[in-house]
Amino acid sequence: MEPSTSQALAHHERTIHRPDRLSGARGPLDWSNRPRPDKRYRGIEPIALPTDLPRSEAPAVSVLTDDAPSRGKLRGLAGLARLLFFADGVVRRRELDDLTLHFRAAPSAGALYPVEAYVVCGDIDGLSAGLYHFEPVTFSLQPLRDGDWRARLGEAAADPELAAAPATVALTGVPWRTMWKYGERGYRHLFWDAGAVAANLIEAGAAMGLPVRLIAGFVDEVVAHLLAVTDDQSPAQGGEMPLALMPVGAAGEEPPPTDPPPPVRTEVEPLSRESVDEPRLWQAHRAGDLSSAEAVTAWRSQLVSAEAEPIAKPGLPPLDGEPVDEVILRRGSTRRFAHTEVSREKLDWPLAVATRHVPGDLGADEHTHVTPYVAVHAVDETDAGAYRYHDSQLTPVGEASRQRTAELCLGQPLGGDAAYTVFLTAEVERLVATAGDRAYRSAQLEAGVVAERLQLAAFIAAVGATGITFFDEDVRAFFGTEAWPMMAVAVGVPAYAPRPGSRPDHTGV
């Protein structure tokens, strides 16, 4: 990578995995200092969310394929609880020595879960207007502010429709949770995990006819203040940053403007004994901050003007009619693949639905900034090899083998054992040159959405999938591209029978 004045690109260069240097490697992990994966407030009485969630019988294959606009209304607190659960609720629990692991609907490397979710809403059936924090383990909301703050959020996002939505789910990232294991490269994980939560939220909404959008542009300082999150580098916390806003439900009447909210005085349980400060991570993040609604609007125009890949609408394959809810409950990272061939349909359809346009402001309609490259090992009617996926077609770019793909994936056998492994790439240097450092955030975020859609589609197609990491420069050289890998997903037939998750009334938490 050429020297650049961009803080985001400088971060990218520092966090590249190379065969002779793994980014962020810190030696043995201090398990006694492992950050807790959930945020707990002290002195706040939680609001228990209903566990009798509305059900959808809409077939998942139709939900992931159909781009028809949704105009449904949010069904009160129960409808909101359903969205939060299938976006990031606890679906499995595992006891490991003296540690209880709570696995959620959205994946997270190392089960570190660095993403937090907040709800900003007007009055809805069963819940008063206010700001709330979602606590997945107890399946509850912690009230942080009274009153209707949607107009303030809409102003920060330069988006009147967001202000008129009945509720907005705001996603934030806690860097220390991933830095504990992955060092500064953990910053990328914030957006990958947020993209996975966002993908689940979008598809869970679509299954109920609810419009859900992903908004990446907003005035950072205003949103952080409203959510009562800071970049506080205290030993116990390590800071928290807003990543995305997701309005849900059909827009109603726009609320009146409000004055800036007063500070919120809260006490939060420590994440760990101490955190490791990484000023360069925060510098890279702040370089993408937007300071006004006018700056938000200008950034969106720049991002739309950046060259992007056109997308093609996927067709409906003859797959099972299982609802989205059940697919999300079944979905889990595959840990072992059998060397079993899959049909070409189980490659074509997942790639097509994964790269559908993401509703929101990540770029121009019917376009994507993410280009998949695929290492094919065992797909019917398809030669083993390296391919570029473009306009619903695979174009050969070189040879591939299970051994070489595993080598690209840090030597992890999963990359080579899969029927095929997808490397999601973006031309981040060009994007940053066009739309500034914030475009680095949006590229990583979009890749996170595409990766989770790909994994959901794989489970619909009766195969399995898992996210996997890689040697950045080696992947570029292997496929002969100037784009940088953002994420990788291995897809194939599991070598075991995965255990499905449970709804909130059966999780035992």
DSSP 75-125: -HHHHHHHHHHHHH-EEEEEEETTEEEEEESS--GGG---EEEEEEE--BT
407 & 268 share domain? no
242 & 313 share domain? no
Q: Hey, how many other C-beta atoms are within 10 angstroms of the C-beta on 362? A: 28
What is the residue type of 200? N
Residue of 179, 164, 87, 104 whose CA lies nearest to 449:
87
What is the residue type of 426? A
247 & 340 share domain? no
DSSP state of 360: B
263 & 320 share domain? no
Q: Is residue 385 part of a domain?
A: yes
146 & 93 share domain? yes
Q: Is residue 21 part of a domain?
A: no
- Structural domain containing residue 256: 41-278
274 & 375 share domain? no
Residue of 183, 310, 288, 185 whose CA lies nearest to 244:
288
Concatenated DSSP letters of 228-260: T------TTT---EEEEEEEES---SPPPP-PP
Residue of 21, 352, 385 whose CA lies nearest to 184:
21
Q: Which two tokens stand for residue 437?
A: 């450092």
Q: Is residue 13 part of a domain?
A: no
Q: Is residue 508 part of a domain?
A: no
- What local confidence, expressed as pLDDT, does residue 308 receive? 80
Domain boundary among 227, 258, 278: 278
Q: Is residue 292 part of a domain?
A: no
Number of compact structural domains in the chain: 2
238 & 354 share domain? no
Q: Is residue 448 part of a domain?
A: yes
Helix, strand, coil percent content, the chain, rounded in steps of 5: 35, 20, 45
243 & 380 share domain? no
**Cα dihedral 434/352/487/2 (nearest 10):** -30
* CA diameter of the chain: 62
Residue of 138, 136, 92, 143 whose CA lies nearest to 117:
136
Give the domain CATH number at 374: 3.40.109.10
- What local confidence, expressed as pLDDT, does residue 392 receive? 86
223 & 325 share domain? no
Q: Is residue 434 part of a domain?
A: yes
260 & 324 share domain? no
213 & 262 share domain? yes
pLDDT along the chain (509 residues), means of 10: 80 95 80 91 95 89 79 90 96 80 91 96 97 96 97 97 97 95 95 97 94 97 94 65 96 89 89 87 95 97 88 72 88 93 94 92 89 98 96 94 98 97 97 97 97 95 94 98 97 90 64
Q: Is residue 299 part of a domain?
A: no
257 & 324 share domain? no
- What local confidence, expressed as pLDDT, does residue 232 receive? 63
- What local confidence, expressed as pLDDT, does residue 436 receive? 97
